[in-house]
Chain A
Amino acid sequence: MTDGPLLDVRDLRIAYTTRAGEALVVPGVSFGLNAGEALGLVGESGCGKSTVALSIVRYLGRAGRIAGGSIRFEGRELTTLDEAGLRAIRGRRIAMVYQDPMASLNPVMTVGRQLVEAPMTHEGVSASAARARALAMLAEVKLADPEAVMDRYPHQLSGGQQQRIVIAMALITGPALLIMDEPTTGLDVTVEAAVLDLVRELRSRHRSAILFISHNLGSVVRVCDRVAVMYRGELVEEGPVRRIFTSPRHPYTRGLLDCLPTLGSDKRQAPLVPIAGQVESSLARPQGCGFAGRCAHVEVGRCTARPIPSAVVVGEPDHRVACVRADELPRWSRRSGADAAHEAGGPGEPMVAVQHLTKIYEPRRRWLRGPRSPVRAVRDVELAAARGRTLAIVGESGCGKSTVAKVLSGLEVATAGTVVLDGVEVGALAVDARAAALKRKLQMVFQNPDSTLNPSHTVGYAIGRALRRLQGRAPADPAAGVARLLEVVKLSPALAARKPRHLSGGEKQRAAIARALAGDPDVIVADEPVSALDVSVQAAIVNLLTEIQAARGATLVFISHDLAIVRYLADTVAVMYLGTVAELGPVERVFAPPYHPYTEALLSAVPVPDPDHAGARILLEGRVPRADEIPRGCPFATRCPRRVGPVCDETPPPVQQFGDHRIACHIPGDELSRLQTPLVQPRAVGR
């Protein structure tokens, strides 16, 4: 191999053809990647990260083309290479891993056949040799029982297992460069942690360079040596991980870091600071700095007159930033939890109280075949949310948290147990059976911004209809009511005339919140309202929810798999596993020892955007049992790293009560405290 970097991208320009003509979406990006090095490419969606990555293997599609610059890989120029040359490189020297593993795997082929395909076609290896290599690779990505996995079809594997297979497929030809495009987005936090650890480990063993694209700064820290931040098709800052995370220079990088909730802070101590505005289009490019329109430090003239060159930061030769004011900006310090004493202030009267809630889905009997076993989605759950407070329910997918939300909202009815909403028993009442006043009292905010609003209706119609229905009469001036609600969620009243497809994800979610607020509800149930959004938008929506809650005194039931957000906004937390509550208590007690072993594992898996964070990692083995194969004893026993013995498998764990903090575990609380170290350090002030 020649000297110099493995991959050298110089002044790469990418143009897209649109109806309005050709637009330069990437006006000139340069970076290098040495053999065995890992570079993280971060930025909000629509910033051009994937475009740059795809252009390296020239997968730009019909609309895009490389308009200039060079991409040298192993000494060869890729921008002018012919199809045959590209084929020899794709999959063999450069491999890609995409976000959705199901889209990368062929659903009608066994995993084994897909794995042996690459070595056999690219290298002409014999079938048996390829199979041996595939088996070795599967063992390397830590899949238990590789022989059995080889004969499975993709749909028979979990999301985490699928992503491991995709990684195995990518690495099986020993590529020099691995491009990973959001490889862990969409995976549960514990699975994500395991996959990231695997990537880091494989990297050191295989000496493959990695281009790691992510919007999650926490996962970038775990894998990468260097970070490049992209905004509007330009690299605004690039440097070693430590420098970017401890002394970011570009206002955009700082914005990305400031809008991340961290495990050490909550809403009373250090509010999230969302980046103003939203990602601007890369199609129309301003004269000067692309970020000027959202930047708090913009200086008209200097920033907006001409393109901003990327310059080396004084005293830090490996750190480049594209900001004319980089040297003048105040030093950045991480948002820190001031020691403001936490005002817990009594438990408060319960607004929602759930007792012994059980929900069993009886599968439809199939004709001439035996009955299938019922799915016990939620078992004997006990929770309460106080008036005006926030109850967060956390857990991995399939733990039953959404089922609890559905029973609260009446979209499902409880099989057993009671659900009391402001003194009224509603557990057995489907939403149709609830009185109008009850419907008004509890409203929901949903997860998916793309399906929460009806694409056929304007935003104004959706909110206006909710106003009319929930207030029980036609409002005197519906347009004014809609405008007022849009203002509450900080949207322009002009959006009322728009259809959802003209709105961004964050705007759709705001409109959905406005719709939920139409009846001035006492309880808002939010089922993963921000998990499909970019971090910067997440921060804004979370702030909006807490603001509205404070202003209206509403109770918020917030369902999430993101512990950092839960730490930030919850007053009470319930950790759910396999349909049961493992731990319940005030947020600062749940996030401090003694932990339930499951909470401990979840907390240790949270990606922390801090290179100095050296949390001991607890990796969970195995998978979550299916809802129809629930263990007899403790539901977590099959994966618990602190399993004490057969008692865990045989006997359901006792609920230990420590004041208002409850843990369902066989290990006594004081012993848990002794074994466990705090995983969340309150951050030092002013570092």
Chain B
Amino acid sequence: MSTPVAAGTLSASSPAASRAWARWRRRRVAALAESTPATIGIAIVLAWAVLALVAPLIAPYPPNANDMAALAHPTPSKAHWLGTDHLGRDLLSRILWGARPVLVIAPLAVLGAAALGSLLGLAAGYYGRWIDLVITRACDIVLSFPVIILYMIILAHFGSSAWNIVGVLTLTKAPIIARIVRGMTLDLREREYVAAAKMRGESALYIMLVEILPNARGPLVVDMCLRTGYNVIIIGALGFLGIGLPPPDPDWGGMVKDTYGMMMVWPHMALFPCAAISSLVVGFNLLAVGLRELGLRD
């Protein structure tokens, strides 16, 4: 996160710096490979990302096409590897297509929360006094709400669309990020390099964004990974409650909601989408664990 800032002045001008930057990237990748959880996590998340990307090419059927012939025998078969759902739609195709909205909404909401939360946390930690008080209390209030009820109220009111889901997730996750960033800012603002920046007359915004934030990136990135996983769960839960993405386009949570009534007869209809959700969440969690391990080692 910081390197573009630092490299901005140098890498463009000097080939030595750009070589150093390339070396740094190689080392980082090599370092990630050293942690087993990180390696597995990256593999899972990358696999899902690739599958989602090429879903239109590899999905055997259109996601909403009904195969009336399969209705009698919806279980996995040669024609439908994972079987079909109660409307005869191919489960494999729907799961592949269903990965697309999740993998856009969850990270996007985390990025939004990180941006908003970082700004709030930086301001609270750096300025202190009443600004800190107002921001911290406001965050506490948001955090003290039962989130599912909050989602229901907001989405019922504004209607459920991808953008609205990104919006609510951003708003409800930002306070958590703000807390983390505030805590780190309280420590980092006492560093001597911050005093040096003040002494050359830097603005508060510069100090917060360029001097403090880059040094908070380690724990922040770990938390963003974890939170992406949680967002996948929440998106699933919203779909299950029927306030997720509007039908008929596939949505993992919605797929479970539509079919769990047939759990006793045809469990695969609900279980496969559930497995998809869990595997993606586990992938993000392992990535976070791996990153934390690597961060601790530095």
Contacts and interface: CB of A to CB of B under 8 A. Distances in A.
Interface in A432-469: 432, 434, 436, 439, 442-444, 446-448, 451-458, 460-462, 464-466, 469
A456 B191 CA distance: 13
A351 B2 CA distance: 39
Contact of A409 (B5, B20, B199): B199
Interface of A is mostly: helix
Contacts of A461: 5-6, 9-10
A457 B192 CA distance: 14
A515 B196 contact: yes
A31 B200 CA distance: 53
A443 B16 contact: no
B193 interface: yes
A494 interface: yes
A465 B192 CA distance: 16
B267 interface: no
A478 B8 CA distance: 13
Nearest to A500: B193
A302 B187 CA distance: 53
B241 to A, nearest CB: 42
B201 interface: yes
A640 interface: no
A607 interface: no
B198 interface: yes
Given A451-B191, A454-B215, A497-B20, A443 B199 contact: yes
Interface in A648-687: none
B143 interface: no
B201 A436 contact: yes
A515 B211 CA distance: 15
Contacts of B215: 454-456
B195 interface: yes
B201 A497 contact: no
Which among B9, B192, B199 has the highest number of chain A CB atoms within 10 Å? B199
Contact of B195 (A442, A444, A470, A497): A444
B246 interface: no
Given A443-B199, A446-B196, A497-B16, A478 B214 contact: no
Contacts of A597: none
Contact of A411 (B198, B201, B211): B198
B13 interface: yes
Contacts of A452: 192-193, 196
Which among A431, A447, A512, A519 has the highest number of chain B CB atoms within 10 Å? A431
Contact of A439 (B2, B9, B199, B210): B199
A519 B200 contact: yes
A431 B207 CA distance: 14
B249 interface: no
A470 B9 contact: no
Contacts of A462: 193
A453 B6 contact: no
Nearest to A470: B200
A465 B195 contact: no
Contacts of B195: 409, 411, 444, 446
A638 to B, nearest CB: 31
Nearest to A453: B193
Contact of B9 (A443, A460, A519): A460
A465 B10 contact: no
Given A454-B215, A497-B17, A469 B202 contact: yes
Contact of A469 (B17, B20, B201): B201
A443 B198 CA distance: 11
A553 to B, nearest CB: 21
Interface string B199-218: 11110000000110011010
Nearest to B215: A456
Nearest to A478: B9
A275 B10 CA distance: 33
A410 B199 contact: yes
Contact of A458 (B6, B13, B202): B6
Contacts, number: 88
Nearest to B194: A454
Contacts of B198: 411, 431-432
A446 B193 CA distance: 9
Contact of B5 (A432, A444, A446, A457): A457
Interface residues of B, number: 26
B14 interface: yes
Interface in A398-425: 409-411
Contacts of A443: 199-200
A573 interface: no
A460 B198 CA distance: 18
Which among B10, B20, B211 has the highest number of chain A CB atoms within 10 Å? B10
Nearest to A410: B199
Nearest to B24: A499
A494 B192 contact: no
Given A411-B198, A431-B201, A519-B200, A479 B193 contact: no
Nearest to A525: B199
A339 B215 CA distance: 52
Interface in B173-194: 191-193
A451 B9 contact: no
Interface in B1-29: 2-3, 5-6, 9-10, 13-14, 16-17, 20
Contacts of A354: none
Nearest to B195: A411
Contacts of B20: 497-498
B2 A466 contact: no
A460 B10 contact: yes
A130 to B, nearest CB: 38
Contacts of A512: 196
A496 interface: yes
Given A431-B201, A497-B20, A444 B10 contact: no
Which among B3, B9, B14, B17 has the highest number of chain A CB atoms within 10 Å? B9
B192 A446 contact: yes
B200 A439 contact: yes
Interface string B227-258: 00000000000000000000000000000000
Contacts of B202: 469
Which among B3, B195, B201, B215 has the highest number of chain A CB atoms within 10 Å? B201
Contacts of B5: 456-457, 461
B193 A451 contact: yes
A454 B16 contact: no
A515 B191 CA distance: 16
Contacts of B6: 456-458, 461, 499
Contact of A457 (B2, B16, B199): B2
Which among B2, B6, B202 has the highest number of chain A CB atoms within 10 Å? B6
Contacts of B210: 457
Nearest to B202: A469
Which among B198, B200, B214 has the highest number of chain A CB atoms within 10 Å? B200
Contacts of A465: 200
Contacts of A442: 199
Interface of B: 2-3, 5-6, 9-10, 13-14, 16-17, 20, 191-193, 195-196, 198-202, 210-211, 214-215, 217
28 contacts: A409-B199, A411-B199, A431-B199, A432-B198, A434-B201, A436-B201, A439-B199, A439-B200, A442-B199, A443-B200, A444-B199, A452-B192, A454-B191, A454-B211, A455-B215, A456-B215, A457-B6, A457-B214, A458-B6, A458-B10, A458-B17, A460-B9, A461-B9, A470-B200, A497-B14, A497-B16, A497-B20, A499-B6
Interface of A: 409-411, 431-432, 434, 436, 439, 442-444, 446-448, 451-458, 460-462, 464-466, 469-470, 478-479, 494, 496-499, 512, 515-516, 518-519
Give 5 closest A-B pairs by Cβ, nearest first.
A456-B214, A456-B2, A446-B192, A454-B193, A469-B200
Given A457-B214, A497-B16, 16 more contacts: A411-B199, A444-B199, A446-B196, A448-B192, A452-B192, A452-B193, A456-B3, A456-B5, A457-B2, A457-B6, A461-B6, A464-B9, A469-B200, A478-B9, A494-B16, A496-B10
